[in-house]
Amino acid sequence: MRLLLVFAFAVAACSSPAAEPAPAPTATAGGATEPPGETYAVSMDRRARVGERYHEHTLIRSRSTRVIKVSGEVSERESEEYELELSAAITVTATTPDGRVTGYDVDIERLELRQGGASTDVVPPRSRVRVARVAPDEGDGSIELIGGGHLSDEQLDFLDDVFDTSLGLGDDDTFGTDEPQAVGASWPMDAAGARRELGDSAMFSDATELTGQTTLTGVTDVDGVRCLQLEAVLEMGGFMLPDLPDGAVVEHSLLRGTMSGAFPIDPSIRRLRERQELHTAMRVRLPVAGMTTILEVQGDEVETSEYRRLDAAAP
Contacts of residue 197, defined as CB under 8 A and 6 or more positions apart, other chains included, come to: 5, 136, 168, 169, 174
Can you give the pLDDT at residue 34?
Answer: 57
List, in sequence order, every residue forming a beta bridge with 166; answer none if it has no partner: 134
Can you give the pLDDT at residue 268?
Answer: 79
Residue (of 117, 111, 10) closest to 59 by Cα position = 111
Instruction: Please give the single-letter amino acid code of residue 1.
Output: M
Distance CA 256, CA 276 (A): 11
β-pairing, 33-34 vs 225-237, is unpaired
Can you give the pLDDT at residue 195?
Answer: 73
Residue (of 188, 169, 167, 192) closest to 178 by Cα position = 188
Walk along the chain (315 residues) and give the pLDDT tens digit of each residue: 233 333 322 222 222 233 333 333 333 444 444 556 788 877 777 788 999 999 999 999 999 999 999 988 899 999 999 999 999 999 999 999 988 999 999 999 999 999 999 999 999 999 999 999 998 778 889 999 998 889 999 999 999 999 989 887 777 778 878 888 899 999 998 888 777 766 555 566 666 788 899 999 988 898 898 888 989 898 988 877 767 788 888 888 888 988 888 878 887 788 889 999 999 999 999 888 778 899 999 999 999 999 998 975 544
pTM for the predicted model, two decimal places: 0.81
Burial of 47 (0-12, 13-18, 19+ CB in 10 A): middle
Can you give the pLDDT at residue 166?
Answer: 85
Any idea where the domains of the chain sit in the sequence? 10-14+30-45+170-310, 81-168
Instruction: Please give the single-letter amino acid code of residue 307.
Output: Y
The CB density around residue 160, as the number of other CB atoms within 10 Å, is 15
**H/E/C letters for each residue in the chain?**
CCCCCCCCCCCCCCCCCCCCCCCCCEECHHHCEECCCCEECCCCCCCCCCCCEEEEEEEEEEEEEEEEEECCEEEEEEEEEEEEEEEEEEEEEEECCCCCEEEEEEEEEEEEEEECCEEEECCCCCCEEEEECECHHHCCCEEEECCCCCCCHHHHHHHHHHCCCECCCCHHHHHCCCCCEECCCEEECCHHHHHHHCCCCCCCCCCCEEEEEEEEEEEEEECCEEEEEEEEEEEEECCCCCCCCCCCEEEEEEEEEEEEEEEECCCCCCCCEEEEEEEEEEEEEEEECCEEEEEEEEEEEEEEEEEEEECCCCC
Can you give the pLDDT at residue 277?
Answer: 94
C-alpha 170, offset from chain centre: 12
Can you give the pLDDT at residue 312?
Answer: 59
Per the document, the length of the chain is 315
